[in-house]
Amino acid sequence: MDGLVFDIQRFSIHDGPGIRTTVFFQGCNLRCFWCHNPESQPLSPRVQFFPDKCIVCAACVEHCPHHAHLMVDGRHIYVRDRCQTCGACVEQCFAQALIIKAKKMTVEQVMADVERDQAYYVNSHGGVTFSGGEPTLQAQFLLELLRASKERGFHTAVDTAANVPWRTLEQLIPTTDLFLVDLKAFDEEKHRAGTGVSNRRILENIRRLGQGSATVWIRVPVVPGYNDDAAELGKMAAFLADLPAVRKVELLPFHHLGASKYESLGLDYPSRGLKPPGEEAMASFATIFARCGLPVAGT
Ligand code: SF4
Ligand code: SF4
């Protein structure tokens, strides 16, 4: 069994308790305009080109069978429309101006990486987190990784936007110690405007998880001008306060760390003008959830 993975991050301390290894799955079925991992969104690999790293050596020009790299007046031009994602140029680019992050990995290959830090999991009460992209879109691969992790005694977490049929999430419950579920907006039209999809199924899935036996942490990206108002956050808090399995709410402030990735993919950066929320604003948003009796982190 194999799947498409775009990164494996060791010593992660932001994706669940303790020290963890986070496995990022390729492919997502939301299109959040503030996404800081746009390379994870397509269901298939993409070439990223970072012009500031290019040393204009022309190795890619020679090796591309589809003539997607050109040298014009000493400048490198990458013609994305011609690219067939064969990877030949990436292998030749020693400056790492060209990369393809997603790669096929078997369950055994992923677990070999995850096992490397098992001593840290024990000492820190950490474990492994499966994230994305959206890991539940590769449900069978995810399920096998969860089973393999539990066989080794690792604490498991699944980081999901929950925009999948309930049965997809339900089958994960026996092998998932913690669900990290994103909630981006409570208002349906706002959710659709920001992510491209309705939140009806997401809210229903959160309600079911929140009334069940699994432990759930909710993650709210705080995006200026989108969901950073008391009314919107108050509706989320009231909804979550009625769900006994929701043990924590994490507020994640918007940031610009993903900006250069948009350029590398030939995409416009839609969040250019946004100002990340300050500490004072984040603290006041936290009180909205705390007033409903919800433990809050990340402020
Ligand atoms: S191989 Fe890499 S460094 Fe050389 S021209 Fe192509 S992109 Fe630039
Ligand atoms: S990935 Fe293949 S087709 Fe695409 S630019 Fe590189 S060599 Fe050409």
CATH topology for 47-100 is Alpha-Beta Plaits (3.30.70)
Q: Kindly report the protein residue whose alpha carbon is nearest to atom 2 of ligand 1.
A: 93
Q: Is the beta carbon of 88 within 6 A of some atom in ligand 2?
A: yes
Note the pLDDT tens digit of each residue in 231-286: 999 999 999 999 999 999 999 999 999 999 999 999 999 999 999 999 999 999 99
Q: Please give the share of the chain, as a percent, with pLDDT higher than 70.
A: 99
Span 111-143, pLDDT tens digits: 999 999 999 999 999 999 999 999 999 999 999
Distance in angstroms (rounded) separating the CA atoms of residues 95 and 83: 19
197 pLDDT higher than 90 = yes
- Asked whether residue 104 carries a pLDDT value surpassing 50, the answer given is yes
Could you tell me the residue ranges of all domains in the chain? Answer: 2-43+102-297, 47-100
For the residues 183-189, what does the mean pLDDT come to?
Answer: 96
User: Is residue 298 over pLDDT 80?
Assistant: no
Tell me what ipTM this predicted complex has: 0.96
The residue whose C-alpha atom lies closest to atom 4 belonging to ligand 2 is 83
What integer is the mean pLDDT of 33-62? 95
Does residue 58 line the site of ligand 1, with CB under 6 A? yes
DSSP 126: -
Whether residue 251 has its Cβ less than 6 Å from ligand 2? no
Indicate the Cα dihedral angle 194, 129, 217, 279, nearest 10°: -70
pLDDT band for position 175 (50/70/90)? very high
Q: At 299, is the pLDDT very low, low, confident or very high (cuts 50, 70, 90)?
A: very low
pLDDT at 297: 87
CA 85 to ligand 2: nearest atom:
1
Atom of ligand 1 nearest to the CA of 89: 1
Cβ pair 270, 33 in contact under 8 A: yes
- Which residue has the CA at smallest separation from atom 3 of ligand 1? 54
User: Tell me: the pLDDT tens digits for 152-164?
Assistant: 999 999 999 999 9
Environment class of residue 97 by beta-carbon count within 10 Å: exposed (0-12), middle (13-18) or buried (19+)?
A: buried
Q: Are 2-43+102-297 and 47-100 in the same CATH fold?
A: no
What fold is seen in the domain 2-43+102-297? TIM Barrel (3.20.20)
